[in-house]
Amino acid sequence: MKRDSTTQILLVATLLCVVCSVIVASTTVGLRRRQLENKRLDQKKNVLLAADLIQEGEVVSQKSIDELFSQKIQRVLIDLKTGQKADPDTVDPETYDQRAAATDPNQSKLIKPAVDLGRIKRREKFAFVYKVLDSDGTVDQLVLPIYGKGLWSTLYGFLALARDGTTVRGITFYEHGETAGLGAEVDNPKWKAIWPGKQIFDENGDIRLKVIKGSVSPASPNVKFQVDGISGATITSKGVSQLVRYWLGPDGFGPFLKHFHQQQDQQTDA
């Protein structure tokens, strides 16, 4: 075989492609476990951020995050339709991937356009709820995963509620593709600091929480239900408002919150 023959060139190119493919595949497999671990850790961190158990910008080790999460957080998988704990014989909480379930026709449901405030089209049948526990084991907060469309992307985050299930304790968004300096301000600690203390429901149980256009007037009778809009990001602001309303409503965590309130009332009466 000639040294510079077409056959030799093709052979060398083929071997090079095979070697490179093996290296890339091996690297991908080797890094996948680390990527999954980093994803799991990031999710825990954002639950703790929403619950104000760690501070924005605070440097926290992986060990500290894991320890704090195990001490303070109880993760429960619920059936969104009933609002009650999912049957482990139906779905295994340890292996359940909520994000993947939302796009799986067998694990999700189509949302009617009239109620699809978050513009997500489908939603998973089961979702995790994170209960933040006091030292005596009672529930101090609830942290709910939320997501929906902004201007350019789907925003993924967590909303923390006080034990009354109607007062906001915090909000955080950990993944989105909104415009830097505009819609991406959903990550701005100053904007997120406006949310704690806001009320979700009025005395009739109707959802009133809303991100408005512009700034909330301190004199407004609805000040406790309103959050300042993000300047220059009207569509993103509206998206956040709508996705929050969807996940707190009857097609989202509404049945769970109703069931939780009933449990709280029974404990109070006991």
Between strands 226-227 and 210-211, the pairing is parallel
| pLDDT score recorded for residue 139 | 93
108's tokens: 């999700």
Read off the pTM. 0.84
What local confidence, expressed as pLDDT, does residue 265 receive?
63
Q: List the structure tokens of 204.
A: 């009739």
* Torsion sign (Cα): 159, 161, 166, 167: negative
Q: Which of 138, 90, 86, 47 is nearest to 256 (CA)?
A: 86
Instruction: Output phi, psi for 157, to 5 deg.
Output: -160, -165
pLDDT at 270: 55
Q: How many CB atoms lie within 10 A of CB 33?
A: 9
Mean pLDDT by 10 residues, the chain (270 residues): 60 67 58 66 90 87 92 96 94 94 95 95 97 92 97 96 94 93 92 95 92 93 95 94 96 94 68
Closest by CA position to 118, among listed 223, 245, 254, 31: 245
Predicted local distance difference test score (pLDDT) of residue 152: 94
Report the pLDDT value the prediction gives residue 73, as an integer from 0 to 100. Answer: 95
111-126: per-residue pLDDT in tens?
999 999 999 999 999 9
Q: Which residues on neighbouring strands pair with residue 147, listed in sequence order? A: 156
pLDDT of residue 239: 96
pLDDT tens readout for residues 75-112: 999 999 999 999 999 999 999 999 999 999 999 999 99
* pLDDT in the model for residue 42: 86
Instruction: Go through 163-193 and write b for each residue having 16 or more CB atoms within 10 A of its CB, e for each that does not.
Output: bebbbbbbbbbbebebbeebbbbbbeeebbe
User: CA 168 to CA 159: how far, in whole Å?
Assistant: 8
